[in-house]
Structure formats: structure tokens, C-alpha cells
Structure 1
Amino acid sequence: MMNDLDWLLDLVALGTVADLAPLVGENRVLVKRGLRQMRQTTRQGLFSLAGVSELSVPKITAMDIGFRLGPRLNASGRLKEALASFELLTTTDVFKAGELAQQLEMQNRERQRITRDMQTRAEEIATSQDKDSHLLFAVDESFNSGVIGLAASRLTEKYYRPAVVASKGEEETRGSCRSIPEFHITDALDQCADLLVRHGGHAAAAGFTVKNENLAELVLRLKSVAEEKLSGTELKPTLTADAEVSLSEIRPELYEKCLRYLEPTGYGNREPSFVARNVKVKNSRTVGAEGKHLKLSLEDEKGLTHDAIGFRLGDWHKNIPARVDILFTYELNEFNGRVSYQLNLKDLKKS
């Protein structure tokens, strides 16, 4: 029996996951019920958005929202205004829904291009100032304020340091911050509150606005706070596995009988991860823009082949070892209407 408000739960799931709310407690319950509602939705906009995202609506997962639907919905607001996304989710016109979905797809591709260019420029600025700084800071008048957070995230991932990317206007500068578990970025901004027009966030991400006359002092003070907090700390990311397995133990039945019942997984409720050692590499290639992602065919002890994808691990392709130790999650993958199981590589090293 459907509650009067159940028809809105697909939107609740969409917003909760896309906004990176932790998938624990009531959030997890709402997203789980929302996904069930989404898989039987009649919203034309969701069908069209799933279409350009190469997804099947009855099989959408929280991961699909986070990595495929969410970025497309957010693209319009990042580049211009979010009206197109709102209209997509509310229209009952199938033709308008298709046009809006295509518009968001094009805006998302433009957003990806801008983010890549901005990341390159932000990295140049941040590392040229002080390569060994405990906090990276990049500010430029050309930066698009809608995607500075994405560029900051990439810097934090690459250098494992708190990072700030800021867009400088005529009178004020808007900044977006991303951080690591060892450094509470909003606490750091609190210590600089006298310099800021406004700020807010949480431990891992924050934003602020500062008058341009206070910008230089803010950079110095944030770097000083980071130096004090992180000095003597080994700044290396730590990945934790839930179990060490033989690759031959990773089979579709494991997903169907166990892993899928842990859904929805995502921020705050990560997927189970595994380590397998001395795995044979049969084939290696790069995929994606500029070959940033790594695609492997791996052979287990019984001679069976497993497909694996490593996002932003493309640099490994040039010197991939014959045998590797891998840390991965196991997932259901749908692409171009084809459903398969694959390893999602989080890290690897030579055996």
C-alpha cells in the first residue's frame, strides 16, 4: 500500500545521494525506499536522464545516482542556473524531457572540460607557490565558481592534503575547500572568521567568501593552521580492506546472495572491499578522457577472467606488472544496455 507521500521518495533518494548525505540511519532507509520507488517511477524526466546516462531505470542504484545521474543534474547549476534540472524533474512532456536531458548531458560534458582545465591550472598555481605546504591554495580570476569544489577535490585526492580553490571577483573571492581525515577544514576556517564575510561546512568540505583585501592574510593564516596541525604527520592515504580473498572466490553469486543486500552503499556506508594478491594481468588498456582510467583483464587461480576498472589509475598502464596485488570492490555494472560484474580497483601494486 502506497503512502500519500511515497511518490516523492524517488526525489528524496536523488537529492540525498547527490548531495553526499551520509547513507546511515534514516537517510539509508529513505534512500532504500526511494530507490524502490525510482525503479517504478513514471517521471518522464528520470527516464530521459537515465537514457543519456546509459542506465536502465528499473536497475538504478545509489552508486548510479552518485556518479551518473547526480553530476548531470548538478551541471546546469554549476555552469548557469539550475532551472533546467528543476524543469526536467517536473515535466510530464516526453519530448521536453528528452530535450532537457540532452541539454544537461551537454552541460555536463562542458563542466567536465572546465573542471579538467581548472584542475591543471589550479595545480600549477598551488604547487608553484609552495610545493611542500601542508595546505594547497589556488586562486585565479578565471576560475568558474560553480566547479571550484570539484577542482579542490581532485587536488586533495592527488596530493592527500587539504586544498582550497577560489574564484576571485572584483571585490570578493569565493573559495571551496576539501580536506583529509586528519584536518577539520571548517574548524580551520573558524580560526580565520575575523577575515571572512561568511563561511560554513563540515570536517571534509567547506566554502567561504572573503574580501579581496583580506585574501593574502587568509592564505597565510590557513597555511599556518595546517602547518601547526599536520606537522610531523605522514600525509599518505590509508585504504582499509574488509577481507583478503582469492580472486576465484569473487563470483556473481557473491554479489547476488550477499553484497547486494548491503545496498544502498555510498558516502558514510562504504561498499565492502577486498584484497587479492599475486593476480595475473592478462590485458591492460586505458579508457576515458585522456586515458585517465585503467581497464584490466585479470586471471584467477582457476584460469577464469575478471574485468576490472580503475578510475584515475590510467598511469599504471605504461608499466603494468605481470602480477599485481589489488584492493577492490565488486559491483554490478551496466553500460550500453549490457549488464556485467566487475572489480572496481581502488589501488594496486606490484606483487
Structure 2
Amino acid sequence: MRWVFQKHIPSNIFQNLTNIPEVVAQILYNRGISGQKTMEEFLEPDYDEGIHDPFLFRDMEKAVARIQKAIRDKEKIVAHGDYDADGVCGAAVLVDGLRQLGAQVEAYLPHREREGYGVNKETVRQLAKNGTNLIITADCGISNQPEIELARELGMDVIVTDHHHEPLQMPTAAYAIINPSVSTETYPFRGLAGVGVAFKLISALYQKDNGKTVPKGAEKWLLDLVAISTITDMMPLLGENRVLVKYGLIVLRKTRRFGLHALAQAVNTPIEKFDTDHIGFRIGPRLNAAGRLQHADIAFQAMITKSAGEAQKLAQRLEQINNDRRLVTELISTEVEQQLGEVAPEQKALFAFGNNWPIGVVGLVAGKVAQKYNRPVFILGEVDGNIVASGRSVPELNIVEVLQASAKYYAKYGGHAAACGFTLKYKEDFDEWKQFMHDLIKEKLDGADTTQMLKVESEIRLTDITWELWQFLEKLAPFGQAHPKPVYAARQVTVQQVKALGKTGKHLRLVVEQGGMTKQSVGFGFGEWSQKLSPGQKIDIAFTVDLNEWNGQRELQLKILDIHV
């Protein structure tokens, strides 16, 4: 793996800082943050200062007025979410928030395979038939111009809350559009998750309510869901998102939601200890699993139930579905690897197709394959005679721009720079589309270095790894997309002890020394190195700094990410 070191913080910037160690200042500089005041604000974010006024959205006044009318006139409102964790939590934020204001609101979540992503025309017809007056989308809608046009024809208004990339054809029939990713939007922060946009809408409604119906500040109780989805949807944990997630974790640790307490029990972790890793690797996958293999409504009900007993049953169902998801993912990954065979350097994009692959899981497989080969990957399957796909990209390629350049092939598509989903218009176009995509991606990646790389914040010595550094790392949290756990490199450390861990020796335990400082380290998946290393050997290591707690003892240890000899 190629290590890429960040540009060293200029001495004129660091010399003007006080009480911020250089290893910490380097991290902040790498995130585009410089100057004493902005660094201190990042380390100690303030909620009131860090959250933007929701009415900075250009259509927010219009949207709020329409919802207020719906509440006054007792109109039927439907919160139309999506089948992933962001769409589930976004719908839950809308339903919980609106019900507190006295709205008559229900949620609708689509079935991934039967209805696909976003708003479906048949769904629109059914909602109209059921007497719906107002549809508010969560995490979808921006790419649904024909469906929203149909809704208007059938007498329903649609307020779009979404965060996905601006499509070539905007939903001009929408009553209001609240999406920070739209090029003409006036809102100052572009990185909100779908749930974050829904939260801004509820915040605006509560601001207008001014304590008459709900207590001032009551919207903060929704931040547990905002944190979960912002992390799970891999949105950048910088700017406003950092504040939402930092305070959302505080709310999560004291959440009133029975479903989250039940899930915490299921993953055997006290909820008061939850951090971004627990959400990203334990809670998020369970919420996503429902929509991947069964129906997202299971996850939605878990988030809004007022019954502890029902929460336990729903958490158990999510646990079982997630176990099934793991098994199916592993099976499909094996089949994909068999299809790909030996990947040649000239293959700039990878494709795999399976008739019986659950479409809800192929995105996970695409992500694993893209990470392994550091190439854009498209995993396709067939649903009701249509070819449906999930794609994952690499940092050098915006996958939505690729889809826009090949838009003639799709019945529908959407996504972010790093991930996408689409349905081909015609099955018989598959081979032509595949060649077109490969040529297009090859052209866009021409000259790009696609070998696997590891971004390293800075080189440090083991003597720099102190409890003072750990205290600053805790202030730098929460970590996630665009603000990962700092990766450090230490050169010419001496191996003192080496041992394979786990029943099959899959993992590695190392004790390393440098300058008289000894550190314990662990490398997950590095078991083979136990046969390559020996005491006294000098190596370079890339790692993160973690806290290891056992039997009441606390110790800083290194989590190895790569080894160079």
C-alpha cells in the first residue's frame, strides 16, 4: 500500500498557536482549519454557534407555511422516506416532529425491489386514492419530476426534502424544494444527510411555533436519529454535520427511544458508550438490513415505537435479518470474485451480474470490491425483467457525473459522488452500456494513480503517543467521513514481541519499541505477518491510536493499518 503524507503545517501558522500540540494542529490543518480561533471552535463546537438558521433555505418559508396550513386544516400528510437508514430516520424525524405539532401524518417507505428508489407513480396514485393532501419526502424526490408532476395532477402538493445530487431534470412541479445540493440553493452548508434536511424542516416549524405547542428546543430530541443517519450515510463530519453528530451522540446516549435501547442490548453495548464506530458498524447495518432483505418499515417502526415490548421484538427481527444479510453478502462476494477472475491493470471499471442476487445487498458487495481493487465497481441484478444496479466509486471519480454522461441508458438513476443506483431502460442495451461505461471511465481516470493508498496525517515517534495526545484526540471526535481517525506513521520501530491472535491466527499482536518507549499494537487481518516478522527487526508502521480497556485498566494501543519492511 502506498502511503501519502499530508503537507506539513507551515511553521508561520503553527508558531502563532498556543496550547495546541503540533500533532493535533497538523490534523486540523489537514482538514482545512487554521488559526487559533477556528481550531478552538473545532475542538469545542458550540451548538447555537455551529447550527445554521433553517430559514436560510430559499424555500423554507414556503414549505413551513404549507405545512402549517395542513396542520390547521387537519389535512392528511404522508412522509415518504426511503429504504435505507437515512430514509428511515428521515421519515421518523418528520413523523415524530410533525405529530408533536398535532399533524395528521403517516409514513410511507418503498419496497426496494418492487418499487425501487424514490417516489413511484403507482405509489402516488395509491396515496391520492387514500386521501393524501400533502407529501413530504425524506432522502428522495429530487430525481422524481414525472412522479411529482403526477401528484400535482391528482391534487396533492409535494415538498421535497433531499440531499442527493442535482439531476438534469429538476422536479419543477414540487411545491417546495429543500436540498442543499441544488446549485441555486442559498443554504450555506452543502453536506447535510437526508435526515439532516428533514431535521432542518422540523427545526423551522418549531421555530415558528415559538413554544406554543412544543417546548422551545424540543427538536434537539431528534438529534439521535440525525447522528445515526449522518454517520451511516457516510456524510462528511465537518462543518454543521460535526455539530449535529457531536450533540446527536449526547442525545443518543440518553435517548427516549425504546428501539435504540433494544438495539443496544442486541449488540451488547451500553448505549451510554455509543460512538461513531458503534453506529457505523453495529446500529447502521441493522437498520439498513431491513430494507435490503425485507422491508424498511421494520426499522422505521423500531425507531418510533412507544412500546418497550414491541421494541424488543423489532430489535430481534433486525438482528436476524442482519445475520441473514451477512451470509448473503459473503456468498455473493465469492461469486463476484469468481466472475472477475484475475483483474488486469487495463480494467478501469469492474462489472458483475447475477440473476438471483438480492438487489438490496449488491451495493455492499460493490463497496467491498471497489475497496479491494481501488476501481469503480458495478454489481447488477435482474428484478421483474429489469436490470438494476448499484455502483461504488473511487475518490478520483464522481460516479454521478458518469451517470449523467450516460443518462440515455437509464430509466431512473441517482446517488452521490461515491455511490449510485440505477435501472437500465432496456435489457438489450446491457453490453453496449457496459462498453460505453468502461470507455468513459477509462477516459476520466486517464493518468490517475489508482494503486491503493493510505493517507497519513504525519510521521510521529512513539514518545509522542501520550495521554495528553489522547485527550486532544477525544476532542477531535466524532470521526467519520472527511474527518477520519488520524492515521500516523512511525519509522524504524523495533519488534519486541510478535504473536498471531484468534482461533485461526487471523490477527496479529505486536509489541514495538522506539527511543525507549514500548507500545502494544494489534493488527486485524494481519495474522500472516506473524510468520514474516521476528524480534529485533526494524519496521515502519501506519496506525491509529486507540484506547484499550480491560479489568479496570486503561492503556493506549496502536491499531495497525499497514506494515512496511
Which residue of structure 2 aligns with residue 160 of structure 1?
374
| 1:11 counterpart SS class | helix
Which residue of structure 2 aligns with residue 297 of structure 1?
510
**Is residue 228 of structure 1 aligned with residue 443 of structure 2?**
yes
Distance 1:24 1:132 in 2: 36
Which residue of structure 1 aligns with residue 292 of structure 2?
78
Which residue of structure 1 aligns with residue 388 of structure 2?
174
**Is residue 277 of structure 1 aligned with residue 486 of structure 2?**
no
Distance 1:161 1:66 in 2: 23
Distance 1:2 1:332 in 2: 38
| 1:276 counterpart SS class | strand
Which residue of structure 2 aligns with residue 264 of structure 1?
478
Note if contact 1:197-1:209 (Cα within 8 Å) is conserved in structure 2. yes
Distance 2:487 2:415 in 1: 29
Per the alignment, do residues 106 and 260 of structure 1 end up closer, same or farther by CA in structure 2, a change over 3 Å counting?
same
| C-alpha distance after superposition, 1:242-291 (max 9, x if no partner) | 22122243244422x21010111101222222111233162333559x87
Moved more, 92-101 or 212-221: 92-101
Which residue of structure 1 aligns with residue 258 of structure 2?
44
Distance 2:443 2:320 in 1: 44
Letter in 2 for 1:296: R
Distance 1:62 1:103 in 2: 23
**Is residue 138 of structure 1 aligned with residue 379 of structure 2?**
no
Distance 2:303 2:260 in 1: 7
Rg larger for: 2
Distance 2:330 2:528 in 1: 16
Shift of 1:346: 2.4
Shift of 1:333: 5.8
Per the alignment, do residues 239 and 111 of structure 1 end up closer, same or farther by CA in structure 2, a change over 3 Å counting?
same
Shift of 1:88: 1.8
Distance 2:429 2:552 in 1: 53
Letter in 2 for 1:40: K
What does 1:1-351 correspond to in 2, within 5 Å? Answer: 3-127=217-341, 132-210=346-424, 211-255=426-470, 257-279=471-493, 280=495, 282-287=497-502, 294-301=507-514, 302=516, 304-310=518-524, 312-313=525-526, 316-317=529-530, 319-320=532-533, 322-332=537-547, 341-350=556-565
Report the count of equivalent residues: 346
Per the alignment, do residues 111 and 284 of structure 1 end up closer, same or farther by CA in structure 2, a change over 3 Å counting?
farther
| 2:542 counterpart SS class | strand
Per the alignment, do residues 189 and 331 of structure 1 end up closer, same or farther by CA in structure 2, a change over 3 Å counting?
same
Q: Percent identity?
A: 35
Distance 1:337 1:67 in 2: 25
Per the alignment, do residues 251 and 95 of structure 1 end up closer, same or farther by CA in structure 2, a change over 3 Å counting?
farther
Shift of 1:149: 0.9
Note if contact 1:13-1:31 (Cα within 8 Å) is conserved in structure 2. yes
Per the alignment, do residues 148 and 338 of structure 1 end up closer, same or farther by CA in structure 2, a change over 3 Å counting?
farther
Distance 1:196 1:178 in 2: 17
Letter in 1 for 2:428: E
Note if contact 2:496-2:513 (Cα within 8 Å) is conserved in structure 1. no
Per the alignment, do residues 337 and 98 of structure 1 end up closer, same or farther by CA in structure 2, a change over 3 Å counting?
farther
| C-alpha distance after superposition, 1:195-253 (max 9, x if no partner) | 11111222211111113111111111111112222244332122221221222432444
Distance 1:2 1:343 in 2: 44
Shift of 1:35: 0.7
Per the alignment, do residues 149 and 323 of structure 1 end up closer, same or farther by CA in structure 2, a change over 3 Å counting?
farther
Shift of 1:124: 1.8
Distance 2:410 2:418 in 1: 19
Note if contact 1:127-1:136 (Cα within 8 Å) is conserved in structure 2. no
| 1:174 counterpart SS class | strand
Per the alignment, do residues 51 and 163 of structure 1 end up closer, same or farther by CA in structure 2, a change over 3 Å counting?
same
Shift of 1:77: 1.2
Per the alignment, do residues 52 and 320 of structure 1 end up closer, same or farther by CA in structure 2, a change over 3 Å counting?
farther
- TM-score, normalized by length of structure 2? 0.57
Distance 2:312 2:533 in 1: 42
Note if contact 1:309-1:342 (Cα within 8 Å) is conserved in structure 2. no
Shift of 1:305: 4.1
Distance 2:427 2:265 in 1: 44
Distance 1:305 1:57 in 2: 30
Note if contact 1:179-1:185 (Cα within 8 Å) is conserved in structure 2. yes
Letter in 2 for 1:218: W
Note if contact 2:462-2:519 (Cα within 8 Å) is conserved in structure 1. no
Moved more, 327-336 or 179-188: 327-336
Per the alignment, do residues 98 and 309 of structure 1 end up closer, same or farther by CA in structure 2, a change over 3 Å counting?
farther
Per the alignment, do residues 328 and 201 of structure 1 end up closer, same or farther by CA in structure 2, a change over 3 Å counting?
same
> Structure 2 stretches of 5 or more lacking a match?
1-214
Letter in 2 for 1:223: H
Per the alignment, do residues 171 and 39 of structure 1 end up closer, same or farther by CA in structure 2, a change over 3 Å counting?
same
Distance 1:163 1:278 in 2: 37
Moved more, 48-57 or 214-223: 48-57
> Structure 1 stretches of 5 or more lacking a match?
none
Letter in 2 for 1:233: A
